[in-house]
Structure 1
Amino acid sequence: MKKRLLAVLLLSALLFSSCNFPSPTLPREDQPLYVPPAGQTFTPPATPSPDPSARIKLGDEVVLPLVSLAFSPLASVDNSGLPMTLSLGEDKAVMNNTDETLFFSLSSESAGVSPDAQACLTNLLSRMRADLPELHASEATEIAAAGLTGVQTELSGTLLEAPMTGKLAVFQVQSRCVSLLGAAAVEDPQTLWQETGQYAFQALLGGLRFLPPGSVPACLIATDPEYAFSPENPIRVGSVNLYDGVSRMEAYLNTLRGPNMEEINYIRINPQYNAENEIVDAYQINYAGSGEPITIYFSIYSYETPMAPLGFSCEAAFPLQRP
């Protein structure tokens, strides 16, 4: 026990006495482990900013036959991946997001006596102000797209009882006024337009193609492979009353053609209910070389601009108007 205590005392004495050791005779300068070259400083790499336009996804190209205009519709516009809604007509297309806070419209009308794109814009704004009295449009500036020169203006005002910010571009082509309108209508429209809307607008504008007359089909061709072939996605021909439904469906079928303009033979079969408990009328059709009959479905209870099913064509524009 005495030996252990003596050892502890001895170690303690050595530790305290080491603090009083004399300095080495030769002084030593501590050197840094790394000295950067003169004039060189280390700058951390900048964090790349996300490209807002990368969020914009486009769908398959669609042709508006009355306008001889092809465009790629918006599929989605943000990281949510929620799809945009697309409504088509022979001379117009309308797109909106799920929240109905972003709207885009591509439309065409006869130029009439309008000599140029500026006159088209003036007439269009005049009609818009009749419906939107608070609409303000900036001074028009020149814009180029699809090999054409047009005019554009910044818009602000109120739309659907919400503040609105957007843009309108107008071209005159083939004696028609063609316009692309984009708008954000929400409590803070400026932010939504700057962060998303303007990039979607530019994506639509960049995808426009004006086609030579006679180079486009006479009717819209569906891009959805289930259109007409599924009871859930019937051809919506509408009706004035229940008695003209059959004549409207058969006017459609008399205009429809096979992929190489073959005439269509058809026979009406029993109607059925789809998943929404909606009655859909069914026809079996065939054409030379088609093989087994193909069943397509109609609804006479609602109307949408009729299109030819994917893989089919048409002799002319379908002779149907909204009832």
Structure 2
Amino acid sequence: MTKKLFLAGLVAISISCSSSKKISETANQVNDDNAFVITEVATDETYGLSPKNPVEVGGVRESRGPLNEMKYLDLLTGPNGEKISYYRAGSCCPVKSENGFMGKAMLDNYRVTWKNSKDTVSIYINMYDRGELKAPVGFGIKKQVYN
């Protein structure tokens, strides 16, 4: 009997936690192939380069958060069109998010570089919330071809 009550309690907790999550209604720009579309470089010098203004790629609800992060990064170039390379340096920086656990989410920090760059740049990405996608200041955008 105690075991059944314990299991019932766990089910009730997981239902109440999952039903309190809300996904932002602002969608990323996507094309017909469900690929991200980036059309401009941000004018705000903190966009993506500060944990206070992360890139918002969303995708956690659909279990696509890390994939969305890579889809976004794969559209960036160095300032003169150079191919970039990147790696995930880890999670950091708790932020408020209705889509995170108990109102909080962690950002992912990616370290980005390109040939002849003088330094490695940190880009902060939020995979819990969705927002308009732009390239951070100092980056370019790959030419995007659509069928």
Alignment of 1:1-323 (within 5 A): 219-239=39-59, 241=61, 243-274=63-94, 276=96, 277-317=104-144
Partner of 1:64: none
AA at the equivalent of 2:120? P
Structure 1 distance, partners of 2:88, 2:138, is 21
Residue 242 of structure 1: how far off its partner (Å): 6.2
Shift of 1:241: 2.8
Which letter maps to 2:74? N
Task: Give TM-score scaled by structure 1 length.
Answer: 0.30
Q: Which has the higher contact order (CA 8 A, sep 6+)?
A: 2
Separation in 2, partners of 1:234, 1:240: 16
- Shift >3 Å, 4+ stretches: 274-278
Distance in 2, matches of 1:230 and 1:299, equals 11
Quick check: which has more Rg, 1 or 2?
1
Give the conservation status (yes or no) of the 8 Å contact 2:112–2:121.
yes
Q: What is the root-mean-square deviation in Å for CA atoms of aligned residues?
A: 2.4
Q: What is the count of residue pairs matched by the alignment? A: 104
Structure 2, unmatched stretches of 5+, are 1-25, 30-37, 97-103
**What is the distance in 2 between the residues matched to 1:267 and 1:259?**
19
Return the alpha-carbon distance in structure 2 between the equivalents of residues 304 and 275 of structure 1: 15
Task: Write the distance in 1 (CA, Å) between the matches of 2:42 and 2:54.
Answer: 12
Is the 1:239–1:300 contact (alpha carbons within 8 Å) kept by the matching residues of 2?
Answer: yes
Shift of 1:278: 3.2
